[in-house]
Structure formats: structure tokens, C-alpha cells
Amino acid sequence: MNATEPTVEESRAELDAPQLLLRRSGFGAAAPLFSADLAGAGSLDVAEQVVTSHGRRLWSEAVRESGDVIDDRPLYWARLTLSARLRSWQPEFTLDERERGALLTRLEHASRGHDDLVFAPGDRQLRVIVTGFDPFDLDTDVRASNPSGVAALTLHDATFDIGGYTAVVRTALFPVRWRDFTDGMVERVLLPHYTADPGSSAAADAVITVSQGREGRFDLEAHNAAWRGGRADNEGRTAPGPVPLGAEAPRVDPRPEWSTSSLPRRAIVAQATGRFPVHDNTAVTEIPAGEGPEGSTVHRPNGPTPGSWARGGGGGDYLSNEIAYRNTLLRDAIGRPLPAGHVHTPALHPGSADPATLTDPAFERDRADIVGQLRAIIAAALRPTAQG
């Protein structure tokens, strides 16, 4: 894509609600400070330092926001304002499109916590990576918040005791964009935590991906499909077809149509009780074996049948299904039998139809309850590991 023209996402950042969120949160100062430092960058190396520093500052300020539950929206809109400034920046030195694209990628990783997935040493720790997503469906309501992103920001650096161990949570955010997944963002971020030596500062003991799902319920997705549907992403782009894996991604040969959760789903359902019901979702959409990839789809409530073609996991065929597939495929390709799987949270909506109303008591309550119950889900997922 063009590295100098604003994207659909970046253009939305100029709307009234995003600008109001930035002003009220204090993140509105990020873009002018970033532009000032870019203007002083006399080389590509210095520009990369500026981009990394400001990206990491966005992340660190977001996860350190005061309050019990952190609003994910200011970070999202601030990142987009910085990326728009970076696209339009005209440095004194020659900067080609590839180099500008690399700076934009650096900004994405730094501002999403991808640089911050490091654990302190310690024998009695359970190291947990939890990922969330950006807000989406913004053409329906530009005020949208994603509870998985809220949870990622709120739970970063959270600790809790489980069976004599200290569970330590590190989190990261992912975009709702097909192109980043095609480019291998998930593998670049998560693979080092599967390949690191167990117990090291990079090794994970569990990797749990999270996204927004259905109304009024949590779902533990048992099966993930190697298939993208036709739904548009935050840039209005579609990419239907098989999930593309880059040449650098470790493989299971032959590549499976399905991957599965290794979270202790029954224990989670029993233990992580709260305001919202938690479902063990084993449903899939498939084309049965023998019909070929152009056959008719069938809904299976109890998982895929042998030899079938994947057309939708329990979480559907959008980016939540894809991150779940990519994550659990990494687990299988590397051969580390740790808990890995996907959780869909209840949907979250601003209660007021007034576009100038950014929050309300019901919205705040739902957001807090979702994060609190997700914490209980994470704890329940780790108990079998702690019990050894």
C-alpha cells in the first residue's frame, strides 16, 4: 500500500468523537510532540529512534493510566494520528517508500506493546501473554471500544497468586487489518515466546488471545479454521480465502485445516463464574470431506469431521479466528504443549445514541465486569499448570 497517503483508519481520526477522546485523555499532545521530534531527525537512524521512542511512550502512558479499567480508545486514535504525521513527513534526507513503510511498522510494534513482552527472571512464575484487538466497526459507531483491548491495557503487568506460583501477565494489541496478518505480524510477535528456553525472560507458559464476540457471553473457542471470510477490516479491505502463512512461519506438514485450543475449557467454565456465562464453544463451519473446496458448507455443533475443509471456527472467519489459528499453529509447530487458545468476550457498546456521549454508567459497568471476569478466566486457565 502507499506509504504516503492517509489510510481509511487515519482519516477517521479527524472526526469529532476521536478528537474529543484525545483531548479529554491527554493523548492529544502526542502528535505535535512527535512532529517536532521528526522535524529534527536528520537521518534515517535518528528517525527510527524517534519513531520507536514515541511509539513506546504511547504504550507506556496507556498502560499506566490511572483508574481501575483503562479506556482503549485514546491509544488507538493517538497511534493513528502519529502514523498519519509519519506518512506526510517530508525529511531533509531522501526517504524512499520502503524505508517509510519500515518506520510505520516500527511505530505499530512499539505502540502496541510488542517490545514490552519481557518477563523478569524467577522460578516460581507463570508467564502469561494475553493479546487484544483495536476497536472495530467504526463506520457503525466511531466511539466503539474493544473490551479485549481494554483488558490488554488494564491487565498488563498484573500479577496474582495461583497454587504457590505468581502469575505475571504481559499484553499486546493487534490491529483489525488483514494486511498485517498477511505480513506475519502475529508470528513475529508470538514466535519468540514459544522458541525461548523454558523459564527464560521471553518464554511463555500460556498464550491467550482475546477479542470481542457475542452479546452477553464469553466463548472459549475450541476449534480455529484456516480460512478467511469476506468481511471488511478497519481499512475497508477484504481478503477471503485460506489463511496465508509466510515462508518464515514454522509449519505443521501438511498444514491443518483446523487447530485446537489447549486451554482447560471445562475447568474455566466451572471456575470463572461471574455476571456473564462462559461457554465452551465447539461449533465450526465446514465443507465435508469428499465434496471438495467448492462444496456446500455445513454447521457442526461438536467440531469438525475428519478430512473436512475449514470455513469457520467457533469464532467465525474474521481476524479473531485467524489470530487463534496462527497462535495455536505456532504451539503445534514448535511442539511446546502449553495452554494456548482464544477467548471471545461479551460485546461492548456505548449506551447513548448521542455521538457526543463517549461513555455512560452502563458502558463503564460492562467494561469493568468483562475485564474482571477475564482475569478469572486467565487464572482458571493457569491452575492445571500450577498444579503440575
pLDDT in tens, 305-324: 999 999 999 999 999 999 99
Domain 125-387: which topology? Aminopeptidase (3.40.630)
Q: What is the pLDDT of residues 138-180, one digit of tens each?
A: 999 999 999 999 999 999 999 999 989 999 999 999 999 999 9
Query: In the chain, where does the domain assigned CATH 3.40.630.20 lie?
Result: 125-387
- The mean predicted confidence, pLDDT, of the chain is 95
Mean pLDDT, rounded, for 15-23? 95
Closest CA to 216 of 344, 321, 341, 379: 344
Taking residues 98-113, what's their average pLDDT? Answer: 98
Tell me, what's the pLDDT at 202?
87
Q: Render pLDDT for 66-98 as a digit per residue (tens, 0 to 9).
A: 678 999 999 999 999 999 999 999 999 999 999
Q: Are the CB atoms for 133 and 146 separated by under 8 Å?
A: yes
Question: Which candidate, 85, 104, 107, places its Cα nearest to that of 96?
Answer: 104
Pairing of strands 218-221, 159-162: unpaired
* CB 295, CB 287: distance < 8 Å: yes
pLDDT score at 354: 81
Q: What is the pLDDT of residues 322-336, one digit of tens each?
A: 999 999 999 999 999
pLDDT value for 32: 97
- CA atoms of 287 and 155, how far apart (whole Å): 39
Taking only the tens place, the pLDDT of each residue in 243-256 is 999 888 888 889 99
Reported as a single tens digit per residue, the pLDDT across 365-379 is 999 999 999 999 999
Q: What CA–CA distance (Å, rounded) separates 278 from 219?
A: 6
Query: What DSSP state is assigned to residue 171?
Result: E
Q: Please state, in angstroms and rounded to a whole number, the distance separating the CA atoms of residues 112 and 56.
A: 8
pLDDT beyond 80 at 344? yes
Helix/strand/coil for 268:
helix
Question: What pLDDT is attached to residue 369?
Answer: 97
pLDDT at residue 234 tops 90: yes
pLDDT at 246: 87
For residue 315, the Cα-to-chain-centroid distance in whole angstroms is 14
315: left (phi over 0), alpha (psi -120 to 50) or beta: alpha
Copy the grid coordinates of residue 43. 537521518
Confidence of residue 1 (pLDDT cuts 50, 70, 90): low
Q: The cell 496478518 sits on which residue? A: 181
What's the pLDDT score for residue 199?
Answer: 76
